[in-house]
Chains A and B, each alone.
Chain A
């Protein structure tokens, strides 16, 4: 996705390298190549590529990754403002993503 870059310096993604066990699952599940393994440790190679889907944090066996996951969808965010997080659905009337 080098052709598509979104806003810089916004991601909530954090990696605690001292906790990393070097399994590489984050590198596997990330759809944007945010992580890279270097000397058997994960490093964040492209933090601005992160879309905060949360797949890395959910699958990290060492809880070394933290991110506030969510969907980058304006219609959904408007609903969370209006109706609150619980009632929000994707798009108007269940459409959208």
Chain B
């Protein structure tokens, strides 16, 4: 928190940086730590209608205007932002202004690193540049991470060329190299960039964590830096978002299940709707848990290559627990419906997890979907018929 201290600000290194950005929580911290006496004056860099970003230290004057010098240390609010996006809150609007930034004491010979304007990506990169003097060229990827943006084309050749020109990079640095993350290669043609703006693309490591090593070894990436990984930790952090994606449809399904559960000899029984929909809701929650938590967590351990199979397996195991729990309360027909429903939900959720993995090919995913979706729909239909039938 040292860099946010207002006392430091009073001695002249006030944080600054011009940007049209969301409000800064740091300002309130300043008030607290300085107490009732007036706080530091406004930064000379402030402009009406603009707000200063907390990650900006001060400005570097250059021939192509003022370039914000950013901090490498992450503040509490940066970390809180990371946690929020990981649980799916504000995830689609977590961005920084695109353009050129500096870090440390960059000069015309300092390397230029290129990244996305998803703030999670931006934070990961600057955190790794603690002891480095470098330029950071942030592309307008609409707040999407490097890989997904490269797949969509926003982290692309055109955007690299546009950003280089917009920042006047050829006047800021004397060399003509751009270090791009390797996963950006899906959207960027290095030859085309060279042709259109004169800068040579050097493919950097996949992970921001390897940037230091990459720069220290004279811009050489070894094989481990060039291979994408999907460790247990890398999978676990994705789980909250997977669940949050499932939440909204879950509410609708619960409503439908409530209506279906009440249908019986008396046309509709509220009591039956309540007790039976609780069981169905448990099966639904079990299916989401199996598909969005168990499957990602134990992915390499679960048999099968296709994700719908992996999901059906975790769904079966979870359903077994649910059936055991309800063995006294439900008949055979209802229990089979619960089993089918849990497995179908889990299988579908697991299949959706393909989008979060770094190794599934579109041809492969489409192939498994064409096989799996009819089976999942059939399972849900059977479950619905059995469920309604058991009501009579």
Contacts and interface: CB of A to CB of B under 8 A. Distances in A.
B134 to A, nearest CB: 21
B203 interface: yes
B337 to A, nearest CB: 25
A75 to B, nearest CB: 5
Interface string A60-97: 01000000111111111110000000000011111111
A51 interface: yes
A6 B185 contact: no
B361 interface: yes
B245 interface: yes
B186 A54 contact: yes
A68 B185 contact: no
Contact of B230 (A1, A11, A53, A69): A1
A18 interface: no
Contacts of B92: 93-95
A49 B226 CA distance: 14
A12 B185 contact: no
Q: Looking at chain B, what size class is its interface with the partner chain?
A: 35 or more
B360 interface: yes
Contacts of B227: 1, 31-33
B41 interface: no
A6 B306 CA distance: 7
Given A69-B186, A72-B355, A73-B355, A7 B245 contact: no
Given A7-B306, A52-B361, A72 B300 contact: no
Given A4-B299, A33-B227, A71 B151 contact: yes
Interface stretch (B67-75, B108-116, B312-320, B365-373): B365-373
A52 to B, nearest CB: 4
21 contacts: A1-B358, A3-B230, A5-B305, A6-B305, A10-B367, A11-B361, A29-B182, A31-B358, A51-B358, A58-B186, A68-B363, A70-B362, A71-B148, A72-B359, A73-B354, A73-B362, A74-B369, A75-B245, A75-B355, A90-B152, A96-B356
Interface of B: 88, 91-92, 147-148, 150-152, 182-183, 185-191, 203, 206, 223, 226-230, 241, 244-245, 248-249, 299-300, 305-307, 351-352, 354-369
Interface of A: 1, 3-8, 10-12, 25, 28-33, 49-55, 58-59, 61, 68-78, 90-97
